[in-house]
Each structure stands twice: as C-alpha cells, then as structure tokens.
Amino acid sequence: MKKICLLLLFLSPRAESWNLNQPQQRRNFISNLLFNEKHASATVASILLLPTVVEGIESDNSQTQLPKIFTDGYGKEEYTNSITASRDTNISPKEVYDSIQSSYISESLEKAKKDGRTARILDAGAGAGVSTQTLYNMGFKNQQPFQIEAIDWSSKAWDENVNEKDLPSNIKFYELDDERYVQDVWRANKMEKFDVIVFNFGINDRKARYYAKYMLTPETGRLFAPVNIQNDYWLKQAFKVYDDKGDILWSVNDVGAWSVQFQPDVTADTCQGIWCAQYNGFKKRR
C-alpha cells in the first residue's frame, strides 16, 4: 500500500491548490499516507475519483499577468474546515474550490471559446466571492470572453469581503436567492442560457435537474452542485455534475478527508438548521 500511495502521488494530475511543490507540505502529505495506512485506501480512492483539476492561475503568462484578486476571502480557505464569512454564510473548505476547477467545468468554458461565444457562468450562493474569484481565475487563464452572474440571498458576506473598486466589469452581483433571480432577472430579461452553473449550497436532486434542463447551454453546458444524498435530507450531500439533459456525469460523496456537507437551500420548505428562514429572517417567494 505504501508503494502504491507514493506512486499515485507522483502520477496523479497535480492540483495547484495542493501546493505539493512546497517541500514541507509534500513531506507532510507523504507522511500522512505512509503512517496512517488505515486511511490510505480512502485517500487514494478520493484522489482517483476527482476529475482533473485545472490550475486556475498558473499559465505561461502568469509571470507577466495575473488575475485581479477582488475578494479578501480568497486565500483564507482551509482544507476540511469552513470559515465564518458573515452571520449568514461561511467560506467553504478548500476542497470545494479545488473541485469547482474540475475538467468538467473547464471543458465547458473551452467549448464556448471555440464556438466564439462569451461564456456565461452562474455562481449561486456566491457568499464572500471566493467561488466567484475561482471561476473568474479559470476564465482569465483561458483567455476568453466570459460573464459571471453572482447571486446570494444575503449580500452581507459579499459586502464585507469584496472590494467593489477591484471587481471586474464582467462580474455582476445580485442580492437575490436563486428562485427570485430566475423569475425576476433571468426570465424577465429573456437572458441566454449558461455554460456553467455552480451551486454553493446543498440542493435537492429535483432542483439540480430542473436548472440543468432549462438553464444550461445545449450539449455543452454543465451544472456543478452539492446534492442531498436523499431528498430533503440536509445533513449530507454528494458533489454531482449534470449535463443539459439532467443526466449525472460525475458524483462523489467525499473529497479527500472532507465529507461533502453544505448549508441547506434556504428556499426549501424543508430547510433545517440555523441557516434557515426561521432563524435568519429569509422570506421565501410565494
């Protein structure tokens, strides 16, 4: 098992966010694999299940031009731990932002570029803007025109972390929950479909499939979301990628040592916990 772990470490696609090029971090990672053998099989399985991660900032031009950092929340992420961003939301564990950079998402952006289109991205549950920054970095690296619609029912985390003067012009934030955004903005303005939709809160499978079928670009669009392992069960989610037909292309329950778990969908009538309407004052559209 030790030999297999070491071999996989060097053969697996390198995720920039692992920072395994740093000597001390590389030694710690190897040590964990070697001396915690009871967890080694699960760790190896998680590495193999993850799609290829795109290095969001690194590129041949990275020494001369880097994406603008517009949120103070970016860089505060920690592996396996959430960090409070405001009374209404958290900055998710770093595994979340690594997973957003998967090949499923990057390939959808690439296809928009090849088609000569401006890639459209919906970042639902943008919070402190860390997911927005991650998606922006991907589009920037890809050197393509793109537009990000970032939404959250509460602007508190966004207001406290995002520097508006540094916010690129191709990012627009709406203080709206996803259902109000769809009705009052997307449909009302007859906007185009999205190449990429990312959810940063737990949702039911039926919502994921609905958004995928009706809001994704035909053939090439992809939706990435933490989906409840059972409908209306808000204590455990699995990461899933859907295509425009609502079919699941990829699914994983755990990422490394982190078990996928998010804040619940505040618009759901079955929402449970401190993040829900009875505690935070959210009012659902009726």
Vertex 201: Cα angle to 200 and 202 (nearest 5): 135
pLDDT-derived band at 1, boundaries 50, 70, 90: low
Alpha carbon of 59 to those of 62, 108, 112, 114: distances in Å?
Answer: 5, 19, 20, 19
pLDDT of 262 > 90? The answer is: yes
Q: Using CA atoms, how far apart are residues 97 and 176, in angstroms rounded to an integer?
A: 22
Question: Where along the chain do its domains lie?
Answer: 2-49, 83-280
Please give the CATH number for the structural domain made up of 83-280.
3.40.50.150
Alpha carbon of 123 to those of 147, 199, 217: distances in Å?
Answer: 11, 6, 15
Please tell me the predicted confidence (pLDDT) of residue 97: 96
Region 215-229 average pLDDT: 98
Higher pLDDT: 36 or 132? It is 132
Q: Provide Rg for the chain, Cα atoms.
A: 19
Q: 220: buried, middle or exposed (CB in 10 Å: 19+, 13-18, 0-12)?
A: buried
| Joined tokens for residue 40 | 């080694």
| Joined tokens for residue 157 | 């985390």
pLDDT of 201 > 70? The answer is: yes
Query: Which DSSP category does 93 fall into?
Result: P
Which of 100, 111, 122 has its CA nearest to residue 197?
122
| Joined tokens for residue 56 | 């969001």
Work out the percent of the chain whose per-residue pLDDT is above 70.
78
Average pLDDT, the chain: 84
Region 5-20 average pLDDT: 42
Q: Using CA atoms, how far apart are residues 215 and 191, in angstroms rounded to an integer?
A: 10
pLDDT digits (tens, 9 = 90+) for 78-115: 998 988 887 778 889 999 999 999 999 999 999 999 99
Least confident among 9-13, 49-53, 135-139: 9-13
Please tell me the predicted confidence (pLDDT) of residue 2: 46
